Structure 1
Amino acid sequence: MKRTASKRLVTISDVAQSAGVSKATAARVLGSYGTASPVVKEKVREAAKRLGYQANELARSMTTGKSKTIGVVVGDIENPYFGQAVRGISDAAHAAGFDVILSNSGEDAAKEKAAVRVLMGKRVDGLIVTPASVFETQHLHEVLRSGRPLVLLDRTIPDLAVDAVVTDDRHAAEAATRALIEAGHRRIAYISATESDDPIYRGPHQINLSTVMERIEGVVAASRLAGIEHPERYIRLGAHRRGMGDKIIAELLQGADRPTAILASDTVVALEVFKTLRRLGMSIPGDLSLVAFHDADWTSVTSPPITVIAQPVYELGFESAQILVRRITGMGDTPRCRVLATTLIKRQSIGAPPAHEDSGAVLQDDAAKIG
């Protein structure tokens, strides 16, 4: 059998020869730098199109010092929250003439470090990162020392002097907790997806994300202001782990003095709450009231529709990319944190606590219903 020769890549020399110009002239036209007459530019571009020439972006970045790409590292691309944020980043970047290279850390600091290292090796012009930990940040400090612009998305690092775009997480958690308290609830659980070996919250040392700590502080502050004692006892962590969400939620709902309301850290956790309640034969809001961070599409079409804290997620991504582009092009002042407002959208998942829960006791018929 006759072997078919592989097609050779078209080079700048090929384009120059076809256009009847020097290699240097072809390089200037195709690289959009230097000068050339309109006639010469047209000849070179026609030759490049005819031959199917594709620019060697790595070689171009070596020459110009710019790759026209930005790197993005997010926590979980399966989470609709990050999907919307990445869409905002992509739209803003493309409008400014930049391509986007996306990586997923899975909320793992080691994977985040590896992703940042790869993106830096690809000579991206700047980075947008959703940090997986406030403790493991050496790699982000190295980005800063390299002179490469860096913007933090959704979360902050206290000792890292870079731009950040976040939402008002503490105020949002306070508003959601107050709404539940106003409906009569005193036993309010906050369930987070953040990684933890121990699902029971025992203190800030377990928390490696700024957003999680701010939300916990918001829930606790609003609860204590209302005279609720020990609100921390209903805080649970690690609901993102495979199979752990249902277990954590079920144990909470089957325990003594079970919570009468849950604030879910995101709609992935909220959906797990919804499914667990259905499995246990419980209803919303008859047996349990539910509020979730993020206004995912499904939350408005369930029965009942879920009360949510709507976050400007697309705008979060869009603004972070705009800030990064300004930094790349040499504009911008002292790095700062931009805080975007959230909105509590009240639907039908908040009701009064069950009448027999007022004393804090779980009646026998309710225990039978759960079991």
Structure 2
Amino acid sequence: MEDSAGPKRSVTVADVAKAARVSKATAARVLGGYGVVSDKIKDQVMAAAAALEYRPNELARSMSTGRSGIIGIVVGDIENAFFSLAVRGISDAARLAGFDVIISNSGEKLEAEKSAVDLLIGKRVDGLIVTPARCDSIEHLRHVGRAGMPLVLFDRSIPELAVDAVTGDDREAAIAAARFMVEAGHRRLAYVSAMDPEGDGLTDLTRISNSAVRERVEGFVSVLTEAGLPSPLHYVRLGATDQAQTDAVMKRLLSDPSPPTAILASDSLVGLRVFKSLQSLGLSIPDDISMISFLDADWTSVTVPPITVVDQRVYEMGKLAGERLVARIEQIPLAVERLRVSTSLVIRSSVARIGR
């Protein structure tokens, strides 16, 4: 027999108050998380709310408190284990502080990032965490501040914006990786990144609009220069954006009259693509060529051989970014900072020692 009673009526604060035998104002204070009530009354109200399956009206709550209870996150590539770990850290910090999250993926495309930021501003989120696709196009990020929302940058920094940034210690991480390969006897070192190239060849590091990539390349180049190696930018390659492009990048690198003997991959996705490219070319790691990858992703420890990596402590980075944004939302007085999370080199079996 069909139920002719129609849709179930939403449970209201008044219903909860009646069931808990308290005033509507008291029930509203408990359910809204503001004001002061005794533990006994709070327990009564929460028990009544659970029994009635009360669901808060988020729109009404946001109108009364001026907050949505939501944090917006815009990341570069959620497929990348780096960003997946970061989002988990951000989400855990947000949830602990009573916030939900909305996640948007820019695909490292500026226009997609702008659209995501506009959408989240329109939804009146309480704050934003953004991984900027480019650090030289920032008007949409300035608009976040004009909209009255706190902003924290993640993984990349933009000094021109007076906002907090949480990053890895990118320059030092690349220095440690490159120095390890140089000390193993390597003199022809390549750096491979997924960042889209701008023109042919890389002759000016200021042209790299991604601050994390730029700082890593700067660290990489500084080690080669320190070691007295010629043309330190010669083997720096951008554009490893998918497997086909990475295969093309690797073929060009290895067809050089003096091909590199070691490669530093800028992230775990690039590292995996490089690994597959070398396999498809029939090259053995580290007998034919050595490699190190950023990020201690799962795949790096189960390959043959396991890959030496830069451990970036990404979960901690995400958690710190979430905590910083919550502090800004709560208007805790803090100086604007770039918070760098230290890295370490996890040495495995993918770098061979070679004769000088």
Tell me if both proteins adopt one fold, taking TM over 0.5 as the criterion.
yes
Q: Does the 8 A contact of 1:197 with 1:238 survive in 2?
A: no
Which residue is 2:349 aligned to? Answer: 348
Q: Structure 1 stretch 240-249 or stretch 254-263: which is displaced more?
A: 240-249
Q: Does the 8 A contact of 2:291 with 2:351 survive in 1?
A: yes
CA distance in 2, matches of 1:68, 1:123: 10
CA distance in 2, matches of 1:110, 1:13: 46
Cα distance, 1:11 vs structure 2: 3.0
Q: How many residues are treated as equivalent by the alignment?
A: 355
Summarize the alignment of residues 51-66 of structure 1 with structure 2, pairs less than 5 Å apart: 51-66=52-67
Q: Does the 8 A contact of 2:121 with 2:147 survive in 1?
A: no
CA distance in 2, matches of 1:211, 1:199: 21
Q: Does the 8 A contact of 2:312 with 2:342 survive in 1?
A: yes
CA distance in 2, matches of 1:41, 1:264: 54
Q: Structure 1 stretch 28-37 or stretch 214-223: which is displaced more?
A: 28-37
Q: Does the 8 A contact of 1:73 with 1:128 survive in 2?
A: yes
> Which runs of 5 or more structure 1 residues have no equivalent in the other structure?
359-371
Is the alpha carbon distance of 1:291 and 1:265 closer, same or farther for their aligned partners in structure 2, counting shifts above 3 Å?
same
Question: What SS is found at the alignment partner of 1:233?
Answer: coil
Q: Structure 1 stretch 226-235 or stretch 36-45: which is displaced more?
A: 36-45
CA distance in 2, matches of 1:344, 1:29: 49
Q: Does the 8 A contact of 1:187 with 1:259 survive in 2?
A: yes
Which residue is 1:130 aligned to? Answer: 131
Summarize the alignment of residues 73-112 of structure 1 with structure 2, pairs less than 5 Å apart: 73-112=74-113
Give the partner amino acid of 2:75. Answer: V
Which residue is 2:195 aligned to? Answer: 194
Summarize the alignment of residues 236-247 of structure 1 with structure 2, pairs less than 5 Å apart: 236-241=237-242, 243-247=244-248
Q: Does the 8 A contact of 2:69 with 2:98 survive in 1?
A: yes
Cα distance, 1:170 vs structure 2: 0.9
CA distance in 1, matches of 2:352, 2:308: 11
Which residue is 1:367 aligned to? Answer: none
Which residue is 1:251 aligned to? Answer: 252
Is the alpha carbon distance of 1:88 and 1:42 closer, same or farther for their aligned partners in structure 2, counting shifts above 3 Å?
closer
Q: Does the 8 A contact of 1:126 with 1:150 survive in 2?
A: yes
Is the alpha carbon distance of 1:59 and 1:179 closer, same or farther for their aligned partners in structure 2, counting shifts above 3 Å?
same
Cα distance, 1:49 vs structure 2: 2.7
Does residue 213 of structure 1 match 2:214?
yes
Which residue is 1:335 aligned to? Answer: 336
Summarize the alignment of residues 1-371 of structure 1 with structure 2, pairs less than 5 Å apart: 5-16=6-17, 23-34=24-35, 44-196=45-197, 198=199, 200-204=201-205, 206-241=207-242, 243-353=244-354
Give the partner amino acid of 1:274. Answer: F
CA distance in 1, matches of 2:278, 2:112: 34
Cα distance, 1:159 vs structure 2: 0.1
- CA deviations 1:45-101 (Å, max 9, x no partner) are 444333322001122011101222211111111111111111111222222222222
Cα distance, 1:201 vs structure 2: 2.4
Cα distance, 1:196 vs structure 2: 2.5
Cα distance, 1:16 vs structure 2: 4.7
Q: Does the 8 A contact of 2:242 with 2:273 survive in 1?
A: no
CA distance in 2, matches of 1:13, 1:301: 58
- CA deviations 1:255-310 (Å, max 9, x no partner) are 32111111100111111111111111111111111011111122122111111111
> Which runs of 5 or more structure 2 residues have no equivalent in the other structure?
none
Cα distance, 1:228 vs structure 2: 1.0
Is the alpha carbon distance of 1:234 and 1:42 closer, same or farther for their aligned partners in structure 2, counting shifts above 3 Å?
closer
Which residue is 1:368 aligned to? Answer: none
Q: Structure 1 stretch 225-234 or stretch 21-30: which is displaced more?
A: 21-30
Is the alpha carbon distance of 1:111 and 1:161 closer, same or farther for their aligned partners in structure 2, counting shifts above 3 Å?
same
CA distance in 1, matches of 2:114, 2:69: 22
Cα distance, 1:44 vs structure 2: 4.4
Which residue is 1:364 aligned to? Answer: none
Q: Structure 1 stretch 324-333 or stretch 206-215: which is displaced more?
A: 324-333
Give the partner amino acid of 2:300. Answer: T
Cα distance, 1:229 vs structure 2: 1.2
Give the partner amino acid of 2:12. Answer: T
Q: Structure 1 stretch 206-215 or stretch 112-121: which is displaced more?
A: 112-121
Is the alpha carbon distance of 1:198 and 1:275 closer, same or farther for their aligned partners in structure 2, counting shifts above 3 Å?
farther
Give the partner amino acid of 1:249. Answer: M
CA distance in 2, matches of 1:263, 1:223: 13
Give the partner amino acid of 2:214. Answer: M
Question: What SS is found at the alignment partner of 1:189?
Answer: strand
Give the partner amino acid of 2:325. Answer: L
CA distance in 1, matches of 2:9, 2:347: 61
